[in-house]
A and B are shown apart, each in its own frame.
Chain A
Amino acid sequence: MDFEEHAAKPLLAGKGIAVPRGGLAKTPDEAAEVAARIGGAVVVKAQVPTGKRGKAGGVKLAATPDEARTHATPIIGMEIAGHKVEKVLVEEQVPIARELYAAVLNDPSSKGPLVMFSTEGGMDIEEVAATAPGNLRRRPVDIRRGLSHADAATLVQGLALRAAEGRVTDALVKLYEAYAAFDAELLEINPLIVARDGRIVALDCKFVMDDSAIARQPVVSRAGTPEKLTGLEARAKAAGLKYIDLEGNVGVLANGAGLTMTTMDVVRHHGGRPANFLEIGGESYTQARPALELLLSKPGIKSLVINFCGAFARTDVMTQGVIEAIEALHPKLPIFFSVHGTGDEEAIKLLKDRLGVTPFATMDGASKAAVEAAA
């Protein structure tokens, strides 16, 4: 779950990391009011859950409240990376002495948290990692012990931070505490600045919460950005199904994320275009009927490939659900099956007896037939 900057910064502040004074505005007039309240020069920042807002023209400096209104006018309503800007964060400008970068993330390679620190703040960190890897320091952490002050100190030593070194170390420890407390997948401050007055301030913040932890973060997760879903995706989510709309015309239903992605790949390999991702693996293998009913309501589907390969998911149970949906809705489009794995003998018999259909010997065969039928 993504958090916009204005929702993420209070979490840092709650852990003792300074953030600029500011307020949220939904209209240009509100932006001017917030700027007047702050007093002095401000920055107007588009609030969307994506990076590179500055490059897209979504971040502007303003010397006066009137200027803040002028800048907010085109920003509110603009689109950045597919997200419509509905609000701006208006913040005081903090004079910068030095820009740094700090982040903590879940690292699959070390199988634990990874703290990253760089003196190349304000830059695209992937670019820093690619062009000047020596400027990006990394430290894997044992999550059972956390990040100690001494651990954090090793990340910032020898970088000529001088008087600020101790305070930057403190900020890293607090950043790690926030990461741990809020079940972050990624918590990134870019830039973390040393202000001219010596304070350490988070000028920006990117926070992604682990989706699997939302249930145990009921208060914090309320401030997160709801996923942007199409109508069908929202209906699927409410029904507990994993569904994604795509542009093609070959409908796909399979069990398991890996198998479903592969079915899409094979449809593409045979020159077709998958219309969707829809999987009923794991505990949701009993949901074949509502899943297929949902998919059949998608306009523009010309054919359907149903590919089951049962491990945990029983193919007989899934096939029973599919048959119920077909008998209830009588779809006109051609449907091609491939069924293997746990329960396949019963499943194949069900298809023969109830629909008079014999599944293909391979998923390639079924996918290819579906592509040809949709062409």
Chain B
Amino acid sequence: MIVRGADRVLVMGITGKQGTFWSERMQAYGTKVVGGTHPDKAGTTHCDVPVFATARDAMKGAGFDVAVLFIPPLMVKEAAMDAIEAGARGLVVLTEHIPVHDVMYFVAAAKERGAFILGPNTAGAVTPGECFAGFMPAFNPRIFKKGSIGVISRSGSLGTLLCLNVVQAGYGESAFVGIGGDPVIGTTTREALAALDSFPGTEAIVMVGEIGGSMEEEAADYARTMAKPVVAFIAGGAAPKGRKMGHAGAIVMGDKGSYASKRSALEAAGVTVLDTPSEVGVALKARLGH
């Protein structure tokens, strides 16, 4: 699920306000945007690329590898199925508030076709110096700089903060993987951890988790087997039980998904768990020795 400079990107919903704004930024950064979709605007040109009615048409007309979806919640299932059936290598699903049954539907279809899904409710992926897909501030040099730290985050804003702290500490990122804040997502923390573990040029991984669910506990099982150091921050230690904190995924029922459960699982697996995001530089220096 790491998006590379050679990947040809299709922006679904390219003609909307956000689709346009972020397509221009992706292009300026070097992302190979080869086309867009809008059901009624096939044959036109937008952001200097051709617009197709569907991803299937775009695959025939331009060819693409990764689809980035700027699509309203109730229309995502159809758009995602279109991209998957067109043969996309992966999908970046930015939309929040997609019905979970729809998510499980296209995630199952993607799995069968071997396509990756980042999200829903992700801010996207960045490979500094190569490209980005989604709406991350990849172009801000105080936040993204080519380097050796892989970063995984469920939250765009918090992932951005951790990246800022990584760069402030003198490091850079090999890749940023935003997996999304929804309760069911296409790529789990554990899967992202495994991908970054084998991604060339990655020396250490910063994992940004959240209360709720059991993804951090499952990632801890993988971290135990890794040679590369892992540093984690888990958001939501001060959150009250039983309330949804914005992200639908971030909810603690009883002790399940609690901060304490995640922290102890990660620490038992040899992961350094931070009290605050700004400690990330010190923790990386301690673990890497440079």
Indicate if the CB atoms of A277 and B239 lie closer than 8 Å: yes
Tell whether A48 is near chain B: CB-to-CB under 8 Å.
no
Indicate if the CB atoms of B239 and A264 lie closer than 8 Å: yes
Interface-central residue, A144, A213, A259, A261, by most chain B CB under 10 Å = A261
Q: How far is the CA of A109 from the CA of B159 in the complex (A)?
A: 22
Indicate if the CB atoms of B164 and A261 lie closer than 8 Å: no
Interface residues of B in 8-51 (CB under 8 A from A): 18, 22
Indicate if the CB atoms of B157 and A108 lie closer than 8 Å: no
Tell whether A92 is near chain B: CB-to-CB under 8 Å.
no
Q: A258-B157, A340-B160, A340-B161 are in contact. Are A311 and B135 (CB under 8 A)?
A: yes
Q: How far is the CA of A254 from the CA of B156 in the complex (A)?
A: 12
Tell whether B98 is near chain A: CB-to-CB under 8 Å.
yes
Tell whether B108 is near chain A: CB-to-CB under 8 Å.
yes
Q: How far is the CA of A86 from the CA of B48 in the complex (A)?
A: 61
Q: How many residues of B contact A (CB 8 A)?
A: 69
Q: How far is the CA of A311 from the CA of B22 in the complex (A)?
A: 11
Indicate if the CB atoms of B275 and A269 lie closer than 8 Å: yes
Indicate if the CB atoms of A268 and B237 lie closer than 8 Å: yes
Q: A213-B101, A258-B247, A261-B235 are in contact. Are A266 and B184 (CB under 8 A)?
A: no
Tell whether B245 is near chain A: CB-to-CB under 8 Å.
yes
Residue in B140, B213, B215, B249 whose CB lies within 8 Å of A341: B140
Indicate if the CB atoms of A108 and B185 lie closer than 8 Å: yes
Indicate if the CB atoms of A258 and B235 lie closer than 8 Å: yes
User: Residues of B contacting A213 with CB < 8 Å?
Assistant: 99-101
Interface-central residue, A183, A210, A266, by most chain B CB under 10 Å = A210
User: Residues of A contacting B97 with CB < 8 Å?
Assistant: 211-212
Tell whether B123 is near chain A: CB-to-CB under 8 Å.
yes
User: Residues of B contacting A344 with CB < 8 Å?
Assistant: 140
Interface residues of B in 78-120 (CB under 8 A from A): 94, 96-101, 104-105, 107-109, 111
Q: A266-B276, A362-B278 are in contact. Are A259 and B157 (CB under 8 A)?
A: yes
User: Residues of A contacting B239 with CB < 8 Å?
Assistant: 261, 264, 277
Nearest CB on A from B273, distance (A): 12
User: Residues of A contacting B275 with CB < 8 Å?
Assistant: 269
Indicate if the CB atoms of B154 and A340 lie closer than 8 Å: no
Q: A106-B183, A108-B183 are in contact. Are A311 and B74 (CB under 8 A)?
A: no
Tell whether A281 is near chain B: CB-to-CB under 8 Å.
yes
Tell whether A111 is near chain B: CB-to-CB under 8 Å.
yes
Tell whether A8 is near chain B: CB-to-CB under 8 Å.
no
User: Residues of A contacting B254 with CB < 8 Å?
Assistant: 126
Indicate if the CB atoms of B143 and A341 lie closer than 8 Å: yes
User: Residues of A contacting B128 with CB < 8 Å?
Assistant: none
Interface residues of A in 4-61 (CB under 8 A from B): none
Nearest CB on A from B219, distance (A): 12
Chain B 246-271, CB-CB to A under 8 Å as 1, else 0, gives 11111000101000000000000000
Interface residues of B in 193-239 (CB under 8 A from A): 208, 210-211, 213-215, 218, 233, 235-239
Tell whether B155 is near chain A: CB-to-CB under 8 Å.
yes
Indicate if the CB atoms of A256 and B276 lie closer than 8 Å: no
User: Residues of B contacting A112 with CB < 8 Å?
Assistant: 104, 107-108, 184
Q: How far is the CA of A129 from the CA of B5 in the complex (A)?
A: 46
Indicate if the CB atoms of B238 and A267 lie closer than 8 Å: yes
User: Residues of B contacting A254 with CB < 8 Å?
Assistant: 157
Q: How far is the CA of A269 from the CA of B27 in the complex (A)?
A: 41
Q: A108-B185, A215-B74, A264-B238 are in contact. Are A281 and B157 (CB under 8 A)?
A: yes
CB-CB nearest in chain A for B187:
A111
Tell whether A274 is near chain B: CB-to-CB under 8 Å.
yes
Q: How far is the CA of A126 from the CA of B154 in the complex (A)?
A: 27
Chain A 110-146, CB-CB to B under 8 Å as 1, else 0, gives 0111000000000000100000000000000011100
CB-CB nearest in chain B for A262:
B235
CB-CB nearest in chain A for B255:
A126
Residue in B109, B136, B243 whose CB lies within 8 Å of A144: B109
CB-CB nearest in chain A for B253:
A126
Q: How far is the CA of A344 from the CA of B143 in the complex (A)?
A: 11
User: Residues of B contacting A180 with CB < 8 Å?
Assistant: 101
Nearest CB on A from B144, distance (A): 11
Chain A 209-221, CB-CB to B under 8 Å as 1, else 0, gives 0111101100000
Q: How far is the CA of A282 from the CA of B247 in the complex (A)?
A: 11
Indicate if the CB atoms of B184 and A143 lie closer than 8 Å: no
Residue in A144, A210, A256, A264 whose CB lies within 8 Å of B157: A256
Indicate if the CB atoms of A363 and B278 lie closer than 8 Å: yes
Tell whether B73 is near chain A: CB-to-CB under 8 Å.
yes
Nearest CB on A from B182, distance (A): 8
User: Residues of B contacting A258 with CB < 8 Å?
Assistant: 153-159, 181, 208, 210, 235, 247, 250
Nearest CB on B from A310, distance (A): 6
Tell whether A78 is near chain B: CB-to-CB under 8 Å.
no
Q: How far is the CA of A340 from the CA of B167 in the complex (A)?
A: 13
User: Residues of B contacting A144 with CB < 8 Å?
Assistant: 105, 108-109
Tell whether A323 is near chain B: CB-to-CB under 8 Å.
no
Tell whether A309 is near chain B: CB-to-CB under 8 Å.
yes
Nearest CB on A from B255, distance (A): 9
Nearest CB on B from A229, distance (A): 11
Indicate if the CB atoms of A111 and B245 lie closer than 8 Å: no
User: Residues of B contacting A107 with CB < 8 Å?
Assistant: 184
Indicate if the CB atoms of B99 and A311 lie closer than 8 Å: no
Q: How far is the CA of A166 from the CA of B154 in the complex (A)?
A: 43
Indicate if the CB atoms of A212 and B73 lie closer than 8 Å: yes
Q: A258-B154, A311-B135, A312-B123 are in contact. Are A341 and B160 (CB under 8 A)?
A: yes
19 contacts between A and B (CB under 8 A): A112-B104, A143-B104, A254-B157, A255-B157, A256-B246, A257-B155, A257-B246, A260-B246, A262-B235, A265-B276, A268-B237, A279-B246, A309-B160, A310-B137, A311-B135, A311-B156, A340-B160, A342-B137, A363-B161
Given contacts A108-B184, A256-B155, A363-B278, 20 further A-B contacts (CB under 8 A): A109-B214, A113-B104, A183-B101, A211-B97, A212-B97, A256-B158, A257-B247, A258-B158, A259-B160, A261-B158, A261-B239, A261-B250, A262-B235, A268-B238, A269-B275, A274-B238, A277-B246, A281-B157, A310-B157, A312-B18
